[in-house]
Amino acid sequence: MQNTAAANAPWAHRFLGIMRIMVGLVILQYGLAKLFGWPHGTAFDSLHAFQLAWFAGIFEFVGGTFFTLGLFTRCVAFVMSGEMAFAYFLRHAPRSFFPIINGGGLAILFCFIFFYFFLVGSGAYSIDEVRR
């Protein structure tokens, strides 16, 4: 009988790459909305240059681009995990202890997803993999 974990390993590596691309595109969307107003999000209408959220937009734009491409994935994932933790504790946690009340559930999930990628690497379909 074949080991199920070993049989699924190539698919796990591929799915990790697909997940990295999707997470990168979602975080890139936040950076684009904060910096360029596209896609338009009303939450960012009053955002001006050099505000804290504007700097977060730079991290999300650059980090999202690199993460999607799988370029320097572990370094980018570590920085992005920190940015999401910072966002949670600075913006969301003071409102309430509970993420469902303080609106910080997405920041927590991003934080842990990025930290996971810091630990495991980029997966398939990445520039990092081609460079190896």
Residue 49: exposure state from Cβ atoms within 10 A (0-12, 13-18, ≥19): exposed
The count of structural domains within the chain is 1
24 Cβ contact partners less than 8 Å away, ≥ 6 residues apart: 64, 65, 66, 67, 68, 69
Domain coverage including residue 82: 4-131
Decide which of 22 and 132 is more confident. 22
Q: What is the pLDDT of residues 90-126, one digit of tens each?
A: 999 999 999 999 999 999 999 999 999 999 999 999 9
